[in-house]
Each structure stands twice: as structure tokens, then as C-alpha cells.
Structure 1
Amino acid sequence: MRIAFPFTAIVGQDDMKQAMLIAATDPGIGGVMVFGDRGTGKSTVVRGLAALLPPIETVKACQYHCDPKGGSSMCATGCTHRQDGVLPETGQMATPVVDMPLGATEDRVVGALDLERALTQGEKHFEPGLLARANRGFLYIDEVNLLDDHLVDLLLDVAASGENVVEREGLSVRHPARFVLIGSGNPEEGELRPQLLDRFGLSVDVKTPDDLALRVEVVRRRDRFDRDPAAFAAKQAEEEARVRDQIVAARQRLANVETPDSALEWASRLCMAVGVDGLRGELTLIRAARAVAALAGDTKVEDHHLASIAVMALRHRLRRNPLDETGSSTRIERAMADLFGS
């Protein structure tokens, strides 16, 4: 089994790591979009997160790994009706983190008729796709800005409904497809469609480190890992377990984190000041701040929680101003300083 570079051993990309931990704590935030240079650890962070995440409880043998406590979100192929007076047999599995390649066909993504079984046994059987495998986990798309338009439309539909619907070759299948969408890309290679970009809860810009000591440390750690992955991972095991426990505790604490009216007003004033369209910006900002508070062990959303993630929650939602050459991050930081003195 291939060993992933430990999430906790990654240095120099704190914003990206924080965004991933927030999404792991509250999957309803809507995913993370990471823009940045090549070779800055985007894929490494995602693979490290996959190895870090705690396991999930599932209905045993369910091909969509439904949550036994999921209620209406369970699939109708064998999980929902088993709830009628009978508890389903359960098991545990690693949180799914599924890579979606750019060249993936629609059939591979949504699922299709199992032709081999149809030809050899004369049975119509649905072969689940990547969306089924990613249910209750993470779907990772590298170079998402190069994704074909028809797949973008498909992802938008599924992300909005939390359900994958397949109607083809005499098949009619519906199954839950609730996942955290993680996208990465290089903006120099093409822009992401605004409709899809708006679906990402958080957006992070990563850059090649320009600090000599930091670059040396990155290279040192990677070299040690490449020489002996098992030994390097073993040294990080205690820290990995600590962060895993932090995620589990934050998930349990999340529903009880108080969000006072002052926090709602803070978020709305900032969104109005920077000209965010719609209300998705405020909602995401509040949910992300609540997750930050839960990760920190706090019981109430404070201004500093909101300020710490305002840029990554709003930067991709701003209208372009041709008369203002400053970046979206600078505009948000400037607005916070003007409004709140922070």
C-alpha cells in the first residue's frame, strides 16, 4: 500500500491546510478550490488529508456506503427499506477520497449499465461511477478549470441536489451523492466557469515559497520521506492522531457552537462593503467561522474567527472592478480594516 506524505508534515501552505480541515469538519460548507503554481503541494495536501481523516460508519455491503443513521439520505436499493423495524448491518471504512481524471467519460462519472453482466447473464445491473464512490467523502479534481463543460454541468446538478440520477439504457437509478468537492488548478491555464466556482465554499491561492529557510525545510522533509516513507510517517503518527482527534471533537462540538447576532451582522456588513452578489457569501462565512471555532474548542463565534477565514470565503465571489487593480484578497482585507479596524 502506497504511503501518503503526512498532512501534518506539510509546511508553508497553512491556508490550504486550514481550508481542508474546515471542510472536513463541516462538509456542508461546499468544498475547496485551490489555485496556484505547479509543484506547490496541492495534490499532496489532498492525499495527506485522505490518510488523516477518521473512518466512517456505513451500511455493510452497500455500494454507496450509506450512513446507517442517514434516514432519507439513504439509497433506495437496499438500505431504506431495511430500516423498517430492522437495523441494518453496519461496518466501518476509510473516508472516501476519489480522484476524478480530466479524461473521465460521463459513464465513468455517473455510472452506467454493466454490459458484461447484461451480455453474459441477461440482467440489467447498474455499475456505480465515481460519484457513488465519493458519497460521504471527497471528490478531487486536479486542473478542474480544464474540465469539459458537460461534466461541469453534471457536477453542478449533483452538487445542488446531493443526488445522482441516471436514466439510460432502460435503467432508472437514484442514489445519494453528497461529497466535498476539492478542485485545484493553475489560473494561467484557463479560468473556471463562474457557476462552478460559486459552488466552492472556500477558495485558496497558493504560491511558491519565497523564504529561503522555508524552501529548504520543504525540500528536506520531502527528501526524508522519499528515502524512507514508512519511517517518516511513523515519526508523524502522534501528530496525525492528534489532528484526527481534533476533527472528530470539532464535528461533535459543531452543532453547539453559538452564532450571536453580532457575528451575523459582521458577516453581512463585510459582504455588502465588498459587493458580494447573493447571500451565499454570508452563509459560507458563518458556517466556516463556526467550524473554525469548533476546531479551536471555542463555544461561540467571535470576530477573530470570521476575520481569519473571510478572505478564503469571499475572494472568489467578488465582482471584477476594472478601475481597481488590487486583488480580491486585498480588497477584502482593506474593507475589514475600514469597517472593523482589523
Structure 2
Amino acid sequence: MTGMQEQWQKISENLRGVLNPGIFKVWIHPLDAHIEGNSLCLAAPSEYVARWLRDRMQDTLRSAAAPVLQVAPENIDIRISCQGAAPASAAPVAPAAVAAAPAAPVAQPVHEAPVTPLHTAPSRPSQPLWQPSQCSLPLPAPTLRPRTRQRWRFSFDDFVVGPCNAMAVAAAKDICHDGGCVETLFVSSASGLGKTHIMQSVGRAVQEQGGQARLAYLSAEDLASRYVAALRSNDVESFRARLRDLDVLLLEDVHFLQGKEKMQDMVLTVIKSLQDRGGRAIFTSSFSPRELEKLDSQLVSHFCSGIVSPLERPDTEMCRHILERKAKSFQVLLPDEVCDLLAGRLQGDVR
């Protein structure tokens, strides 16, 4: 190990000691470093990560590097750039809040096999069902109709990024790529704050890569319905095998699993198999993992094994960005005074 590598390793350990483990894993672990004199040059995997570090982490980076470089923090020159780009200056850059908020709820899916009606989670109707990327994942019900390629309603390009959701978005973007630092992400929030938008953005990104990743996107309620269909058709083992062969699992509304022991056992088996093979998973819920009741402790542990990121309600400035972007997308002239008035009064969910 070279002297520069040793220095960066010591700086990383200093950062690990003061940062939340999730923040360290998402923002610091992927960085490449070059140290020369009092200059710390960092290469981030994307311009978004580089900008976030410039905006929020420069003082923390200087404090962590000072004892290693043996100089005062204010004398350390921090340069953060995107990999493959020229080093960026240490001057702060205004955060870019781009995208539009989720609009209306996703329509209720139509079950493809006759199943016993199940309780619907109160937060939102069930989400779209299986979404294979490249490889088809047939389901056990005998009356299946051919499914077309999923038309994703949302993407990262139309998602407003702000302090209330930056960590969840960064972790979700990392999950989109093979070999990323994040393998498991749990996103919790009240209804209408962007959980489905993030899930669909990941599905779209994985699909658009054009690889052979096998991906499933469904709600926990729909998973239960399909499990019942598999029981009725005596095809449970085949159903489980198809789940275990996934590369990416996007499972919404996992609070629906509360009190359903057989479903929990099946989901736990799938998650263990997925994680053992290096697969990736994102879970959403209206509650944090520790708030879920009547849930197997091992399942809760797996939910918490990666990044756990709540989505908070947007502040006034973020609401203003959302309104501006929505007005632009609908080609509506929104005067600044009206935009300010709405942003100050709309304190509910993004939707």
C-alpha cells in the first residue's frame, strides 16, 4: 500500500467514526482519492455525488484530513470532481433540485389468476405486478396472458431532489448498477412522498441498461395474491424458485406482511437467497422497520441490513421547485407570487 493510500485509509476511518454508517457507505466509500501536499482531490462516481459532497461535506472532510495531513483544517484544499472529469474547485455549488413530484396514484392492477380477495393496504392501491427486464418470469397461474414490457411512469429525471430525500435517491441510483455499494435499501414515509417514484425510477434504469438482469416489481399484497394462486395450482416450489432466481427485487408496502407468518417465511427465504447471490433489493413501507408489528425479527434484520432512509415532507423551497417544474411540464404560466403563495400553504404530501 502506497503512502497516499494509507493516508486516505486513515482519513476514511476518521470519517467512518463521525458519520452515520449509511451516509458513509453511500457518499464516502465509492470515492477515489489523490493526495498531494495539502490538497485532497476526490473523484466521485457521478456528478450528483460530487455536487452533494461539495455542498455538504467539505468542512467534515477537512476536519477528518487535518490530523492525517498534519495541517490546520482551513489550510486543506478540497477538490471534488466526477470520475473522468477535471477536478472541481472547492467553491460551494448551489444544490440542483430537479424533477417533478409524483402525480396521481398508480392504478389498481388486475390479477391474472382468480384469487381470494385480500385486504388492501390503506396507504395506496397495489402497484404494478412483475416486471421482467429482458428475461421473462412466468407465474404459476394456469390462465396467464402474455405481458408486455412495463411502461414505467416515473424516472430519476423527473424527481425533485432535496434535503428530505437526497440519501434515498443516491442509494437507489447506486442499486441500479451491478457492483454498487448498496445492495439493500428500505424506504419509509407517509403516502405521497415519493416511494413509488423511486421504485419505478430504479426499475426503468435497470431496464434501460439493456442487460440480462431479472427484475420483479410488485407490492407485498400482490405477492400474497400470487402466492395463493401458486398454492391453488400446486406450484409453490416453482413459484419460490422463480423468486430466488431474481437479480433485483422491488417490493412495495411490506407492512402488508404484518401478522402473515407463512408469507413472511417465504419472503425471508427469497431475501436470503437474493443477498447470498449478491442480488439487490428495495423495500418500501409506511413505517420504519422497527415500527412494524407482528413481523419476524430475522426479516426485520434483513430489512435493516443495508440503507434505511425515511422520506420527509418537503420544505417550502422544495415545494417551490416542484411547482415550477410541474407548471413547466404542463406549459402553464405560474407567476412568482402565486408560486410563493402555494409553496407556503401546501404543507401536505407531494402528490
Same fold (TM over 0.5): no
Q: TM-score, normalised by structure 1?
A: 0.40
* TM-score, normalised by the number of residues in structure 2: 0.40
Select the structure of larger CA radius of gyration.
2
Question: Which of 1 and 2 has higher RCO (CA within 8 Å, sep 6+)?
Answer: 1
